[in-house]
Amino acid sequence: MQPSEIRAVRSEAELREIVREPSQVIWDKDIGRIDEHARTLIAHSPLVLLATSDAEGTCDVSPKGDPAGSVLVLDDHRLAIADRPGNHRVDGFRNVLRNPHVGLLFLVPGMNETLRVNGRATIVSDAPFFDDLAIKGRRPRLALLVEVEELYMHCAKAFLRSSLWQPETWPDRAKLPTLGRIIKDQVDLEGVSAEQIDEDLAVDAETNRY
């Protein structure tokens, strides 16, 4: 494929020549606050995707997973997400220090619709609500406090097209490479096998979740 074969869209006017303006109700669905329905979905969501970008616009998306109900709704405009042990890169947190704008996508298993939240985030090292974020007696070292600016529902089409929740469409995991194999090949590690990496990762996953 040659660059000359790619027709890029360079302006919103060009974009709107292809995708028509939505109806006013689509714009109006942003309620900008955490209402009772949003609280219910957040309470049943075990996984939220956190999108951030740095000052130059370099982006990152990080999954945040805990038992459903672990994201705290503090009031109609604030929620808190605990940080759990990970790989110590803290890409999202480093982005927030440079650009506080974040996007959240809450997933509920078996539900094709998702809840979208956009707002401004602050990294918090302690607060009265940290006790409520504790799991297995362990308080998080950090949490993300998000001030909600936009909140609305996202329709089911992406999940329907992907058949995400239908196990019969899932690939055979045994036919896919393990994370150890991927790391071994991508990082070109010497002196350690893919099997050993997988074993170490499994131990870390069991002993270092919280």
What confidence tens digit (pLDDT) does each residue in 6-53 have? 999 999 999 999 999 999 999 999 999 999 999 999 999 999 999 999
Parallel, antiparallel or unpaired: strands 101-107 and 114-124 = antiparallel
The yes-or-no verdict on residue 185 having pLDDT over 90 is yes
Per-residue pLDDT, 129: 97
Per-residue pLDDT, 4: 87
Query: Thinking of the domain 12-162, which architecture would CATH place it in?
Result: Roll (2.30)
Backbone torsion region of residue 185, taken as left when φ is above 0, otherwise alpha when ψ lies between -120 and 50, otherwise beta: alpha
The yes-or-no verdict on residue 170 having pLDDT over 90 is yes
- Cβ-count burial of 115 within 10 angstroms (0-12 exposed, 13-18 middle, 19+ buried)? buried
Task: Write down the mean pLDDT value for the chain.
Answer: 97
The letter for the amino acid at 194 is A
Please report, to the nearest 10 degrees, the dihedral formed by the alpha carbons of residues 182, 187, 190, 192 taken in order.
-40
List 143's β-bridge partners, or say none.
82, 124
Q: Would you kindly state where each structural domain of the chain is located, as residue ranges? A: 12-162, 171-208
Kindly give the interhelix angle for 179-187 and 194-207, rounded to the nearest 10 degrees. Answer: 120
pLDDT in tens, 44-100: 999 999 999 999 999 999 999 999 999 999 999 999 999 999 999 999 999 999 999
Percent of the chain past pLDDT 90, that is, above it, reads: 97
The yes-or-no verdict on residue 188 having pLDDT over 90 is no
Prediction pTM value: 0.95
The yes-or-no verdict on residue 3 having pLDDT over 90 is no
Per-residue pLDDT, 96: 98
Per-residue pLDDT, 72: 98
Q: Rounded mean pLDDT of 143-172?
A: 98
Per-residue pLDDT, 190: 86
Per-residue pLDDT, 9: 97
